[in-house]
Chains A and B, each alone.
Chain A
Amino acid sequence: MVQRMALAIGGTLVAPTVLLESCSFDPDTSTAGLERLAILDAIAETIIPRTTTAGARDARIGAFIDVMIRDCYYPDMQEKLNAGMQEIAVEGKRSLGVAFEEATQMDREAFLGVYDAAAASDGSHFFRTLKELTMLGYFTSEEAAADGVLNYEPVPTRYDSCLPVDENTKVFYSNI
């Protein structure tokens, strides 16, 4: 949990802001079946796996992507994304011998690498959108913030214009 700080700056107590107890986003998964969530989680986890820090599945990115597809895209794009997911499920099983979501991270990465290469050179490829949504959801998630994946600081209190970087320096962000 990211701590919000009560701060004293220059002798002046910072305004008593309404420190809302932050609650994690609870995705509305009413429209998504378990199978759909499983394949979405598996795609997202392949892109951003659990390491020493939370992975996409830990952050429930499958449900996030489902909500985004439902609320933020028009039918033509929804169909394209759904068809892409379907293709990954069917072709993945054929290629890997087991259901895509049950394959190992290494096998899933090898399989999706082809899609990733296609999306890297074609911005309209369905996988570009799935990758973008995965990253948007994950890097702004409570789980990623809690694990220090990025340097999330909602109340920085200062601006340092020029700091040295070392190998542990993470991207700073304070908002979306």
Chain B
Amino acid sequence: MHYDAIVVGSGISGGWAAKELTEKGLKVLMLERGKNVEHIKDYTNTNKDPWEFAHRGRATTAQEDRNPVLKRDYALNELNPDWWVDDQDCPYTEKKRFDWYRGYHVGGRSLMWGRQSYRWNREDFLANEKEGIATPWPIGYDDMAPWYTHVEKFAGLSGSHEDMDVLPDSVYLHAMDLNCVEQTAADRIRKAFDEKRRLIIGRTSNIAVPHHGRTGCQYRNKCWLGCPYGGYFSTQASTLPAAMATGNLTLRPHSIVKELIYDKDGKKAKGVMVLDAETNMTYEYTAPIVFLNASALNSTWILMNSATDVWEGGLGSSSGELGHNLMDHHFRVGAFGTWEGDQDKYYFGGRPTGFYIPRFRNWGDDKRDYLRGFGYQGAASRGDWRRGVRELGIGADFKENISKPGPWTMGMTGFGEVLPHHENKIELDPDKKDKWGLPVLSFDAELRENEAKMRLDMKQDAVDMLEASGFTNVNGWESDYALGMGIHEMGTARMGTAPENSVLNKWNQVWDAPNVFITDGAAMTSASCVNPSLTYMAMTARAADYAVKELKKGTL
């Protein structure tokens, strides 16, 4: 079968590729390796009450035994287990520990994502070059700004306008409110740190107003079960219906792309080879343009399995960078404290975002003994019945007391930039195979000195801000973090200025096959410290626009 374009993957970036390409008139085939998930209809648990879950959301030992990776964090649970990839069906190899939480179904992780949405700043694109780290970005903020605007208008974001260089404003439909304690902390932090540290409402792809046919957020805070109100951006709520409305989209679930079909003489991809995940039959699909949006590490996996008769390491390996420079955001370090005041205040509703404190380290005239920086996410809240578990008390008075709002606490965790290191890498494991007999990835990456130094600040700065705001019982904390836990996999097929230093050029084209575009996390040349998905959206729309123009010119 022949199409005008093939999009591999249906998550955040794949959905955007499908929307942009179909709206520009191309007949597009979108391939998804997992099953279909229909908007609303297939959100099977989203309207259930807590008591309808036999284990109240907790994972069973049977689930834990089957999923040694997923059980490392919240991904293993009773509420949306079908949306996390089964460790037995899809194993991988850990030379060093790497936590890989995947979503193989239509919509991918756009259904379960954290939704925090931030623009990169100007320095984020310049830092590699200024500091001599890895390789320079081939694009800058000005290349991206119009495309940020483009995707923000359609995706729908909530957030406040702050006019900060470190965190450029997006287009917002509205802002959600800080609660009383967060607002007080915001005022005090701003004053105590001379305007250099700011606490603002988290910028999120949740919207509480009607937008492009979506009803909007009802403050249930059950986003990761799928939202029947279209309260947050997902493929199902946003890009897929838009692409479908053009009449130009064909969606094929259960389609594992094994490799790109490479035309040695034309030096481009002819199409893709698909393994049907249900029937194990193989199919070929052809198109003049292929977008790889299979998620960062799976887009790279496809390249590694393609054109191996030309390059042993696969398509894009001629640079020596394919599979290298694996990144994530490191976190799970911060502080929490108790708030003695506002005992007569409370809130109502499940706000689907917390607060955000933008980066302030190595910014302006601040200079540390490490590179880059971090931001914080957090929230203030009042205790619920859980506080009673460790408190002394049983009986009627105890029952009455813990039914009332408990003390206010506020906590925050830093999200720090991970530097790109050539030595942090993935490769194919020649020995291990998945359920379909396909080779699996092997991980060999770790946090290094720069991140370790940064983590000291991530804890202490949080303590300092809470204490400066008047919190008591302030405790810094740090818990188990391994690369991958941020679920922000980036790098392994980076963009760059020349075929010698990168896999992709400034339009996200594979240097060795210019009709192949990669616009998911694989393309990232560095990581910034802000959540990455909004940047993938913008990058995808930008590349799709370029691809269609070049196709029309006949250069692809």
A contact set with B: CB distance below 8 Å? 2, 4, 7, 9-10, 12-15, 17-20, 22-25, 27-28, 46-49, 51, 67-68, 71-74, 105, 109, 112-113, 116-117, 120, 123, 128, 131-132, 135-137, 139-142, 145, 149-151, 153-165, 169-176
A67 to B214, CA, bound (A): 39
1/0 contact trace for B211-247 toward A, CB 8 Å? 0001110111110000011100000000000000000
Q: Report the nearest B residue to A129, measured CB to CB.
A: B389
A160 to B51, CA, bound (A): 26
Asked if B310 is at the interface (CB within 8 A of a chain A CB), the reply is no
B interface, over-half SS: loop
Contact B59 A72 (CB under 8 A): yes
Q: Report the nearest A residue to B392, measured CB to CB.
A: A120
Q: Which residues B441-466 have CB closer than 8 A to chain A?
A: none
Give 13 A-B pairs besides A116-B393, A171-B405 with Cβ atoms closer than 8 angstroms: A15-B229, A17-B228, A17-B229, A18-B228, A20-B48, A49-B399, A109-B394, A131-B394, A135-B388, A156-B349, A159-B349, A161-B351, A164-B344
Contact A174 B222 (CB under 8 A): yes
With A14-B215, A174-B220: A25-B53 Cβ-Cβ less than 8 Å: yes
Contact A135 B53 (CB under 8 A): no
Contact A120 B229 (CB under 8 A): no
Name 26 A/B residue pairs within 8 A (Cβ), A-sorted. Answer: A10-B209, A12-B210, A12-B215, A15-B215, A15-B230, A20-B48, A22-B51, A24-B51, A72-B55, A72-B60, A73-B61, A135-B386, A140-B56, A149-B403, A156-B348, A159-B176, A159-B219, A161-B179, A162-B179, A163-B345, A164-B345, A169-B346, A171-B384, A171-B404, A171-B405, A172-B348
What residues of chain A lie closer than 8 Å to B43, measured between beta carbons? Answer: 18
Chain A nearest CB from B42 CB (Å) reads 10
Contact B229 A19 (CB under 8 A): no
Contact A18 B41 (CB under 8 A): yes
Q: Report the nearest B residue to A120, measured CB to CB.
A: B392
Contact B399 A19 (CB under 8 A): no
What residues of chain A lie closer than 8 Å to B394, measured between beta carbons? Answer: 46-48, 109, 112-113, 116, 131
Contact B60 A22 (CB under 8 A): no
Most buried by A among B46, B52, B183, B382: B52
Contact B229 A14 (CB under 8 A): yes
Contact A135 B385 (CB under 8 A): yes
With A22-B48, A169-B404: A176-B56 Cβ-Cβ less than 8 Å: yes
Q: Report the nearest B residue to A17, measured CB to CB.
A: B228
Asked if B498 is at the interface (CB within 8 A of a chain A CB), the reply is no
